[in-house]
């Protein structure tokens, strides 16, 4: 009876440990070279911590020479840490030779830092020979900085040989809604083209002014050709000329902020070209040598005070328009004829009124009125006959 009782008690003990502290999992951990401890496994069950999760991360850490224990993992799990993700990140940092402890990772993780992203950024920096502090980079992340983007920008400029640019500068630019990638690319392009009058801070300022800084630098290095709209002007002989000019413009980075735009330059050219056409005594002078007119416009330095410098001005099109003087003379003659007609009608009205008054006063008889009418009709007929004969002779 005693033996049976002992067997029952032993069976119950075995079943207890099998359920609350799986001996098979514990044995598997022992074979992997770690000892999670039977009591710790019992504690996991009581605290509702998954045994397999803890053991698998312990084995993974042990195989990667990462120093953590089951008690530490249990605490982190109960604190709400994704221990699998954290362990993978810690192993990656360890393999990369980064001086970041598991506890440091946990602390930043609990502060809502994406530690895997920060470690990725640190590895990128390290591969370029840059030393970046984990806690500093984590603080950048908490400030809503894209740590990978700013690190990649720093690596780009560092590899180009500009080691005076700092991570702090890039962080501040990013937080100011600047484009760190474009700014760095623009700065490198300017320096490679031997444009050394511009500083990195000025490049950042151009970017913050909502100007495409890469395009601005490209325009500075490679001047751009733009064409004006059709510009009209009237020469001294009254003939209208319509012209188009092609301008070769180079961006002036120093004047990019606050300087007048490309449209201002084109407007100045339009105004001056129209003025120069008006100064010519004869439109044929311009048609003979249109390039001389373009040269006059170029010499005016119309790009002064703007963000652009005019390198050259060329004529792309010249057309002869209307004869404005002839049109004006025609309109004037028509207006004079209309005025004469109006004066004649007024005179006729006065005659009619005078004759009516004469009838009323008895100073004009019906017979006299008919004689006047007949005389006027005879005069008109003779006039028409004369004009007809003249035209016939002209034809002959």
Instruction: Give CA–CA dist 96/386, Å, rounded.
Output: 117
DSSP type of residue 64? T
pLDDT at 145: 95
How much of the chain, in percent, has pLDDT values that exceed 90? 28
pLDDT tens digit sequence for 145-172: 999 999 999 999 999 999 889 999 999 9
Angle between helical axes of 2-20 and 38-46 (0-180°, round to 10): 70
pTM for this model (two decimals)? 0.65
pLDDT at 59: 84
pLDDT band at 123 (very low <50, low <70, confident <90, very high): very high
* Measured distance between the N- and C-terminal CA atoms of the chain, rounded to whole angstroms: 163
Both structure tokens of 311: 């390198």
> From residue 253, how far is each of 218, 219, 222, 311 by CA, in Å?
10, 9, 13, 15
Q: Minimal CA–CA distance to 87: which of 74, 99, 105, 70?
A: 105
Q: Which residues contact 63 (CB under 8 A, 6 or more apart)?
A: 32
pLDDT at 342: 65
Q: Render 339-380 in DSSP notation, one character per residue.
A: HHHHHHHHHHHHHHHHHHHHHHHTSS-HHHHHHHHHHHHHHH
pLDDT at 159: 93
Instruction: Give CA–CA dist 242/277, Å, rounded.
Output: 9
- Furthest-apart CA pair in the chain: how many Å? 173
Both structure tokens of 134: 């984990």
pLDDT band at 357 (very low <50, low <70, confident <90, very high): low
Is the pLDDT at 291 greater than 70? The verdict is yes
Tell me the average pLDDT across 216-245. Answer: 86
pLDDT tens digit sequence for 92-103: 999 999 999 999
Both structure tokens of 183: 């700014």
pLDDT at 361: 60
pLDDT at 264: 84
Angle between helical axes of 180-192 and 147-159 (0-180°, round to 10): 10
The CATH fold assigned to 224-325 is Tetrahydropterin Synthase; Chain A (3.30.479)
pLDDT at 337: 59
Q: Minimal CA–CA distance to 17: which of 47, 44, 56?
A: 44
Domain spans of the chain? Answer: 17-80, 224-325, 341-395
pLDDT tens digit sequence for 136-146: 999 999 999 99
Is the pLDDT at 29 greater than 90? The verdict is no
Tell me the average pLDDT across 25-36. Answer: 66
Residue 65's Cα: distance from chain center in Å?
50
Instruction: Give CA–CA dist 308/261, Å, rounded.
Output: 8
Q: Render 197-237 in DSSP notation, one character per residue.
A: S--HHHHHHHHHTT--HHHHHHHHHS-EEEE---EEEE-TT
Q: How many C-beta atoms surround the C-beta of residue 194 within 10 A?
A: 8
Is the pLDDT at 330 greater than 60? The verdict is no
**Residues present in the chain in total:** 396
- What's the whole-number average pLDDT of the chain? 80
Q: Minimal CA–CA distance to 146: which of 185, 107, 120, 108?
A: 120
């Amino acid at each position: 009876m005693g033996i049976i009782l002992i067997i029952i008690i032993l069976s119950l003990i075995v079943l207890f440990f099998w359920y609350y502290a799986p001996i098979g999992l514990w044995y598997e951990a022992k074979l992997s070279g770690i000892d999670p401890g039977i009591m710790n496994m019992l504690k996991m069950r009581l605290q509702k911590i998954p045994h397999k999760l803890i053991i698998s991360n312990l084995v993974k850490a042990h195989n990667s020479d990462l120093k953590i224990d089951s008690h530490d993992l249990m605490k982190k799990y109960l604190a709400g840490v994704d221990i699998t993700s954290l362990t993978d990140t810690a192993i990656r940092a360890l393999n990369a030779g980064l001086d970041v402890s598991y506890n440091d990772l946990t602390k930043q993780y609990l502060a809502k830092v994406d530690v895997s992203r920060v470690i990725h950024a640190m590895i990128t920096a390290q591969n370029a020979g840059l030393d970046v502090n984990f806690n500093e980079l984590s603080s950048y992340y908490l400030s809503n900085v894209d740590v990978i983007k700013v690190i990649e920008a720093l690596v780009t400029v560092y590899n180009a040989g500009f080691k005076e640019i700092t991570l702090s500068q890039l962080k501040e630019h990013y937080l100011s809604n600047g484009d760190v990638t474009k700014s760095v690319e623009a700065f490198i392009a300017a320096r490679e083209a031997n444009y050394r009058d511009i500083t990195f801070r000025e490049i950042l300022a151009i970017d913050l002014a909502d100007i495409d800084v890469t395009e601005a630098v490209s325009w500075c290095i490679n001047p751009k050709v733009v064409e004006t709209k059709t510009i009209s002007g009237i020469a001294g002989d009254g003939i209208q000329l319509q012209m188009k000019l092609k301008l070769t413009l180079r961006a002036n980075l120093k004047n990019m902020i606050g300087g007048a735009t490309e449209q201002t330059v084109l407007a100045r050219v339009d105004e001056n070209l129209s003025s120069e056409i008006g100064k010519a005594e004869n439109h044929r002078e311009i048609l003979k040598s249109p390039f001389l007119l373009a040269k006059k416009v170029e010499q005016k330095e119309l790009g002064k005070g703007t963000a652009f410098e005019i390198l050259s001005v060329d004529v792309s099109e010249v057309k002869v328009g209307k004869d404005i003087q002839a049109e004006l003379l025609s309109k004037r003659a028509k207006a004079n004829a209309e005025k004469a007609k109006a004066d004649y009608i007024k005179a006729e009205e006065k005659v009619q009124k005078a004759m009516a008054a004469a009838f009323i006063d008895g100073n004009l008889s019906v017979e006299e009125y008919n004689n006047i009418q007949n005389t006027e009709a005879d005069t008109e007929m003779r006039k028409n006959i004369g004009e007809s004969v003249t035209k016939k002779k002209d034809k002959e």
